[in-house]
């Protein structure tokens, strides 16, 4: 199975064209982003995709930041295939929306020119979270299909009534799966991501701590200085408890709670000065290490409802975009944050202007429930176009489906067999 | 850590459900004339029952909607301090999507509180020891308010208080115990006062946001100071939010379904099997006994035994299904993080509701619940429970199972899964048993706040 990649393309919108772009995106969203001008469902390996507009703004030093259009997708490798498919299958749609950006190629746009432009405007992520690394779209869809077939099979009263023990039921299920040519793949384990990817990840997992160890004398010397500076900043930084305006929240509401999952998109200014710049770079680096190697199996430090998330620094690192695809409502998502992973959010977001006051980077902060919720809501942007390839499945469901399939081919004890049947 | 509640300023319904006053009627009112309406409200003030009283004859509580605040002339600069969901109201399209109030439950079909019926500006919640006293109280109230700036938008009658809800199950057993009430003294397992009353620390140890009033808007100093460093007074202090919903219950349909679904392969029906399935759907036996305590059959001796969790005794839901109504309305220790732990219970405690509903039966036979619940944070409590726990087809790892008893049946969610050994039993295409017939988000102000609302506003 392929590993997953985070694609980001961002371009400034030509002066005076912002309203146009927003209107275009709303039209696309109304028609549904699975087909139409941006047919994500017709492209290989697109888990999630979105387009949104970041309004023009001024940074903390008063410099103006132009309005921009952002495309993001969570896809299966290889990247080249996605660029190619975007250019070929979504060509007219891309020309229409990105055509409002200042330097988009002029008509007629060839697929090659489109791809080159998209690549040229792609932005690297500071940190990426993938719920389960290496679980590709084909696997997720296949395992959902497998589950439905098994559930339907078990609904037949003659199947369950005739078999008293868990072992007998499982044997019947295996026999059923084996008898279906379209499901026979499920009796084998999924293939792992490519060898090259696994070697690269293994090397990264080992090398980063090694380098940190080599640098540790320096880091240890710097740590007390950093600590003193941190506390100085934390005492001085102004928190902003202000509620988001009702108009802003109403605009956001329109795009929320249409499916089992929701998109979250936010942008925030990084606090001024080199110290916060340094801190957020270090924290995002550590976050990326954590999400790649420690939280790559369905659990982001206790939060199990996120499919994909990423942090992207933009505008010479003066701003950071945070996006995620999560299960449930924003209220439940924010409560999860506060209850389970406040420390982690504090470490990143406390470098953002207006965040509730923290102590020692990870304490307090998000625990000020309403100040934190206001901060997220104020920074949130409407996700004007959003696509999910499996919008009725929670991350929990996806993981259960994978366990169900794994239990088909594994050797199970009678106890394990009973537990396996509770997945249904 | 114990706090002192200002009981004489808190409305009585927060502290008690008036079990001694079995008769009740809820009058939903619209403002017709601002000045008259304020005067009538001011006249009602001395009659409002407070939390330090234990009325044995009659009780009255008064709540207002966001629409009502505007109709009474509360300036936007003050009203804007209320939370978004209160201001938007229950019939707002996004709220409907969140609550699952779609199709037959959509606000356009409501008998009250929807876009097709008169606006609800205020509610008078009346209670009495006997039917005649209730009639006398309501007649006098109606006469008074109708002569002075109000009209009655809906009159919600209730049946005399009974232990069972219309489906036939003992109801109202598990209620959060509010910190600071006399009966909570010395008890564990209380919930912080700020979860239900504004102006006190909540389960996060913080004060929930409240609407604040500049001193200039309260020249007479009617309201309490907000306790912060600025000069604003607190309109929220000692107030709560009140959710009112009329939920029609299809009792015949529910039992017809339970009997059909448990019909034997030879076509015979068996009442015991039907009751057992109904109990799986509800999560308790008709007596109220928990399925966790007595999985095999009802045991009225355990009717009021509320001392149990789910995780350790029934992690897979073999006794009480994961998707059953009571297990999702109050999951106790069943959810992340770390099910079975105090942390899990602490998370559940941030989503508790004080329920104050009463059963109704109309002349045409329609029956159900005038559901009332109280909280300090509509989005984290009522809306969260309704959306994330009840209406959500994917609750706790389920796939297509909205609440089998009260959940919506929109495009998805019409499945009920009863875990079992060796394997689960799945019920498909459940009919809708509960339909929303009306509703409103109201503010149940403290007495001083009510007096300020009824006063003149520049």
Q: What is the ipTM of this complex?
A: 0.93
Going from the C-alpha of A137 to that of each of A134, A144, A297, B157, the distances in angstroms are 9, 11, 16, 54
For residue B430 the two structure tokens come to 């459940």
What percent of chain A is modeled with pLDDT above 70?
Answer: 100
pLDDT in tens, B230-269: 889 999 999 999 999 999 999 999 999 999 999 988 888 8
Determine phi and psi for B69, rounding to 5 degrees. Answer: -60, -45
Query: What pLDDT, on the 0 to 100 scale, is given for residue A1?
Result: 82
Name the phi and psi angles at B293, rounded to 5.
-80, -35
Contact B408, B100 (CB under 8 A): yes
Ramachandran angles phi, psi of A409, nearest 5°? -100, -15
Nearest to B120 by CA among B397, B373, B441, B450: B441
B55 CB burial (10 A radius; 0-12, 13-18, 19+): middle
Rounded Cα–Cα distance for residues B218 and B210 (Å): 16
The answer, yes or no, to whether residue B188 has pLDDT greater than 80, is no
Strands A46-54 and B150-157, by their bridges, are unpaired
Asked if pLDDT for residue B436 goes beyond 90, the answer is yes
pLDDT for position B385: 96
Cβ distance A424 to B97 less than 8 Å, yes or no, reads: no
Interface test with A, best of B347, B381, B386, B424 (most A CBs within 10 A): B424
Number of A/B CB contacts below 8 angstroms equals 106
pLDDT for B458:
64
How much is the pLDDT for B276? Answer: 97
- SS3 of B198-265: CCCECCCCCECCCCEECHHHCCCCCCEECCCCCCCEECCCCCEEEEEEEEEECHHHHHHHHHHHCCCC
> What is the structure's pLDDT at B264?
86
B281 is written with which tokens?
Answer: 């759907």
Among A160, A331, A368, whose Cβ lies nearest the Cβ of B379?
A331
Q: For residues B419 and B423, what is the distance between their CA atoms, to the nearest angstrom?
A: 7
For residue A156, give the 3-state DSSP assignment: coil
Asked if residue A354 lies in contact with residue A375, where contact means CB atoms within 8 angstroms, the answer is yes
Number of helices (H), then strands (E), belonging to chain A: the values are 14, 12
CA distance A162 to chain B (A): 11
H helices of B20-130, where? 34-44, 66-71, 76-79, 84-88, 93-99
Instruction: Give the sign of the dihedral formed by CA A360, CA A366, CA A367, CA A371.
Output: positive
Query: B406 to chain A nearest CA, in Å?
Result: 19
- Chain B residue with the nearest C-alpha to that of A167: B422
Task: Tell whether B261 lies on the interface with A, counting CB pairs under 8 A.
Answer: no
Q: What is the pTM of this model?
A: 0.95
Res. B375: pLDDT tops 60:
yes
Instruction: Say how many CA atoms lie within 13 Å of A277 toward its Cβ.
Output: 8
Q: B199-228: buried (b, 16+ CB within 10 Å) or exposed (e) per residue?
A: bbbbbbeebbbbbbbeeebbeeebbbebee
pLDDT in tens, B65-98: 999 999 999 999 999 999 999 999 999 999 999 9
Q: Measured at the alpha carbon of residue A56, what is the angle toward residues A53 and A58, in degrees to the nearest 5?
A: 140
Give B86's contacts (C-beta < 8 A, 6+ positions apart): B66, B241, B378, B441, B443
* Beta pairing partners, A128: A310
Average pLDDT over residues B135-148: 96
Q: Could you tell me how many helices (H) and strands (E) chain B has, helices first?
A: 13, 16
Residue B292 clears pLDDT 80, i.e. is over it: yes
Closest CA to A199 of A413, A3, A418, A410: A3
- pLDDT band with cut points at 50, 70 and 90 for residue B137: very high
Across-strand partners of B443?
B64, B241
Say if the Cβ atoms of B422 and A327 lie within 8 Å. no
- How far, CA to CA in Å, does A123 sit from each of A174, B190, B359? 46, 51, 59
Q: Is B356 in contact with B340 (CB distance < 8 Å)?
A: no
Which residue from A164, A257, A397 is facing B98, i.e. has the nearest CB?
A257
pLDDT at B457 over 80: no
Over range A394-398, report the average pLDDT: 97
The token duo for B197 is 């009353």
Across chain B, mean pLDDT equals: 94
pLDDT greater than 90 at residue A157: no
pLDDT for A70 equals 98
- Are A339 and B347 inside 8 Å of each other by CB? yes
The continuous run of DSSP H or E covering A173 comes out as helix A166-179
Chain B: closest CA distance from residue A225 (Å): 33
Using a CB-CB cut-off of 8 Å, the residues of chain B touching A253 are 94
Provide mean pLDDT across the span A347-372.
95
Asked if the Cβ–Cβ distance from A154 to B419 is below 8 Å, we say: no
For residue A332, which residues of chain B lie inside 8 Å, CB to CB? 384, 387-388
Task: Tell me the chain B residues in contact with residue A393 when contact means C-beta distances shorter than 8 Å.
Answer: 394, 399
pLDDT at residue B372, as a whole number: 97
Mean pLDDT of A214-229: 94
pLDDT above 90 as % of chain B: 85
End-to-end CA, chain B: 40
Contact A418 B80 (CB under 8 A): no
Higher pLDDT, A106 or B18: B18
Helix A91-98 vs helix A79-89: crossing angle, to nearest 10? 80
Bridge-based pairing of strands B212-213 and B190-191 is unpaired
**Alpha-carbon distances of B32 from B40, B62, B71, B440, rounded to whole Å:** 12, 17, 9, 19
Contact in structure between B367 and B249 (CB atoms under 8 Å) = yes
Arithmetic mean of pLDDT, A161-186: 91
The Cα–Cα gap between A404 and B65 comes to 49
Nearest of A384, A409, A391 to residue A67 by alpha carbon: A384
Strand order across the beta sheet in which A261-269 lies: A127-130, A306-314, A319-327, A261-269
CA distance B380 to chain A (A): 7
Q: What are the C-alpha distances in Å from A105 to residues A112, A115, A129, A382, B413?
A: 11, 11, 33, 27, 47
Record: contact A340-B379, CB cut-off 8 A: no
Average pLDDT over residues B47-76: 97
Residue A400 pLDDT = 97
Residues of A in contact with B393 (CB under 8 A): 260, 392
Average pLDDT over residues A280-300: 91
A324: helix, strand or coil = strand
**Which pLDDT band holds residue A284 (cuts at 50, 70, 90)?**
very high
Distance CA A331, CA A321 (A): 20
- Is 60 exceeded by the pLDDT of residue B1? no
Cis, peptide link before residue A78, omega less than 30° from 0: yes
Q: What are phi and psi of A38, to 5 degrees?
A: -125, 80
Per-residue pLDDT, A6: 97
CA distances from A276 to A207, A317, A363 (A): 26, 11, 17
Task: Name the one residue in this structure whose structure tokens are 């994909």.
Answer: A308
**pLDDT higher than 60, residue A73:** yes
Over the Cα atoms of chain A, what is R_g? 24
Residue B405 CB neighbours (<10 A): 24
For A377, which residue in chain B has the nearest alpha carbon? B84
Residues A38/A39/A43/A49 CA torsion (nearest 10 deg): 60
Q: What is the mean pLDDT of residues A391-407?
A: 96
Q: Are B93 and B99 in contact (CB under 8 A)?
A: no
Mean per-residue pLDDT, A118-122: 95
CB contact, 8 Å: B426 with chain A?
Answer: yes
Angstrom distance (rounded) from CA B206 to CA B269: 55
Q: What is the pLDDT of residue A158?
A: 80
Phi, psi of B66 (to 5 degrees): -65, -40
Give the C-alpha separation, A252 to A255, whole Å. 6
Percentages of chain B per state (helix, strand, coil), in multiples of 5: 30, 20, 50
Total Cβ atoms within 10 A of residue A37: 18
**In angstroms, rounded to a whole number, what is the distance separating the alpha carbons of residues B417 and B334?**
17
CA angle A246, B329, A370 (to 5 degrees): 30
The 8-class DSSP code of residue A153 comes to H
Residue B268 touches chain A, beta carbons under 8 Å:
no
Q: What is the pLDDT of residue B189?
A: 78
Contact B134, B25 (CB under 8 A): yes
Contacts 24+ apart (CB under 8 A), A53-59: A53/A13, A53/A18, A53/A21, A53/A22, A53/A25, A53/A381, A53/A384, A54/A267, A54/A321, A54/A381, A55/A18, A55/A381, A56/A18, A57/A269, A59/A269, A59/A315, A59/A318, A59/A319
Q: What is the mean pLDDT of chain A?
A: 93
Residues A399 and A132 sit within 8 Å (Cβ to Cβ): yes
The 10 Å Cβ neighbour count of residue B342 is: 10
Residue B7 backbone phi and psi in degrees, to 5: -55, -40
- Give CA–CA dist A418/B457, Å, rounded: 67
């Amino acid at each position: 199975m392929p590993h997953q990649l985070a694609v980001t393309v961002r371009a400034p919108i030509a002066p005076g064209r912002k309203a146009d772009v927003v209107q275009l995106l709303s039209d696309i969203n109304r028609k549904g982003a699975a087909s139409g001008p941006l047919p994500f469902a017709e492209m290989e390996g697109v888990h999630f995709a979105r387009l949104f507009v970041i309004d023009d703004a001024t940074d903390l030093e008063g410099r103006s930041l132009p309005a921009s259009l952002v495309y993001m997708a969570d896809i299966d490798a290889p990247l080249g295939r996605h660029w190619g498919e975007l250019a070929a299958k979504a060509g007219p749609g891309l020309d229409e929306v990105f055509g409002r950006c200042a330097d988009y190629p002029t008509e007629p746009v060839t697929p090659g020119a489109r791809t080159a432009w998209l690549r040229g405007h792609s932005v690297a992520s500071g940190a990426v979270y993938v719920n389960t690394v290496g679980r590709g779209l084909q696997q997720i869809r296949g395992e959902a299909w497998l589950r439905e077939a098994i559930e339907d099979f078990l609904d037949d009263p003659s199947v369950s009534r005739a078999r008293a023990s868990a072992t007998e039921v499982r044997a019947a299920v295996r026999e059923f799966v084996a008898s279906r040519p379209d499901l026979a793949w499920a009796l084998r384990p999924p293939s792992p991501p490519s060898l090259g990817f696994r070697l690269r990840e293994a090397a990264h997992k080992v090398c980063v701590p090694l380098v940190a160890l080599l640098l540790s004398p320096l880091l240890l010397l710097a740590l007390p200085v950093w600590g003193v500076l941190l506390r100085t900043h934390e005492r001085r930084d102004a928190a902003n408890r202000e509620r988001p305006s009702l108009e802003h929240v109403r605009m956001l509401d329109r795009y929320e709670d249409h499916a089992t999952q929701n998109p979250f998109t936010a942008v925030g200014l990084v606090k001024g000065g080199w110290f916060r710049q340094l801190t957020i770079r270090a924290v995002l680096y550590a976050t990326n290490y954590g999400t790649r190697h420690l939280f790559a199996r369905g659990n982001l430090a206790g939060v199990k409802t996120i499919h994909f998330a990423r942090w992207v620094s933009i505008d010479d690192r003066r701003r950071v975009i945070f996006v995620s695809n999560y299960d449930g409502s924003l209220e439940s998502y924010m409560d999860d944050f506060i209850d389970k992973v406040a420390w982690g959010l504090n470490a990143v977001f406390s470098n953002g202007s207006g965040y509730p006051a923290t102590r020692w980077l990870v304490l307090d902060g998000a625990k000020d429930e309403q100040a934190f919720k206001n901060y997220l809501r104020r920074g949130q942007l409407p996700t004007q176009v959003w696509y999910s390839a499996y919008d009725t499945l929670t991350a929990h469901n996806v993981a259960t489906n994978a366990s169900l399939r794994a239990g088909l081919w594994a050797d199970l004890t009678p106890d394990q067999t009973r537990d396996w049947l509770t997945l249904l | 850590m114990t706090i002192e509640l200002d009981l004489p300023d808190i409305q009585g319904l927060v502290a008690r459900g008036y079990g001694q006053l079995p008769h009740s009627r809820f009058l939903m009112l619209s403002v017709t004339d601002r000045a008259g309406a304020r005067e009538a409200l001011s006249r009602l003030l001395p009659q409002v029952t407070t939390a330090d009283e234990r009325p044995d004859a009659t009780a009255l509580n008064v709540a207002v909607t966001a629409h009502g605040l505007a109709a009474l002339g509360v300036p936007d600069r003050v009203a804007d301090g209320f939370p978004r969901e209160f201001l938007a109201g229950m019939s707002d399209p996004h709220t409907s999507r969140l609550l699952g109030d779609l199709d037959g439950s959509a606000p356009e079909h409501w008998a009250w509180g929807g876009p097709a019926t008169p606006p609800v500006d205020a509610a008078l919640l009346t209670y009495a020891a006997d039917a005649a006293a209730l009639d006398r109280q309501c007649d006098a109230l109606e006469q008074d308010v109708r002569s002075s700036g109000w009209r009655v938008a809906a009159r919600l009658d209730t049946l005399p208080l009974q232990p069972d809800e219309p489906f036939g199950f003992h109801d109202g057993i598990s209620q959060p115990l509010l910190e600071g009430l006399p009966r909570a003294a010395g008890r564990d397992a209380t919930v912080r006062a700020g979860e239900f009353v504004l102006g006190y620390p909540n389960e996060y140890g913080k004060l929930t946001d409240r609407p604040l009033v500049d001193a200039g808007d309260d020249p007479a100093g009617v309201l309490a100071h907000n306790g912060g460093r600025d000069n604003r007074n607190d309109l929220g202090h000692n107030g709560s939010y009140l959710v009112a919903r009329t939920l029609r219950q299809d009792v015949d349909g529910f039992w017809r379904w339970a009997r059909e679904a448990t019909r034997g392969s030879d076509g015979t029906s068996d009442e015991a099997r039907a009751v057992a399935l109904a109990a799986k759907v509800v999560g308790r036996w008709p007596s109220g006994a928990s399925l966790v305590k007595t999985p095999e059959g009802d045991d009225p001796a355990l009717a009021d035994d509320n001392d149990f969790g789910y995780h350790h005794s029934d992690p897979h839901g073999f006794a009480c299904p994961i998707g059953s109504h009571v297990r999702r309305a109050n999951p106790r220790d069943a959810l992340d993080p770390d099910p079975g732990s105090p942390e899990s219970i602490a998370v559940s405690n941030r989503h508790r509701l004080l329920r104050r509903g009463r059963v109704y039966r109309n002349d045409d036979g329609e029956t159900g619940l005038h559901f009332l619940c109280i909280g300090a944070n509509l989005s984290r409590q009522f809306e969260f429970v309704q959306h994330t726990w009840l209406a959500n087809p994917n609750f706790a790892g389920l796939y297509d199972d909205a609440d089998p008893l009260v959940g919506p049946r929109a495009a998805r969610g019409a499945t009920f899964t009863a875990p079992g050994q060796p394997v689960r039993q799945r019920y498909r295409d459940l009919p809708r048993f509960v339909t929303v017939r009306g509703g409103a988000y109201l503010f149940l102000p403290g007495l001083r706040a009510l007096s300020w609302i009824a006063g003149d506003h520049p």
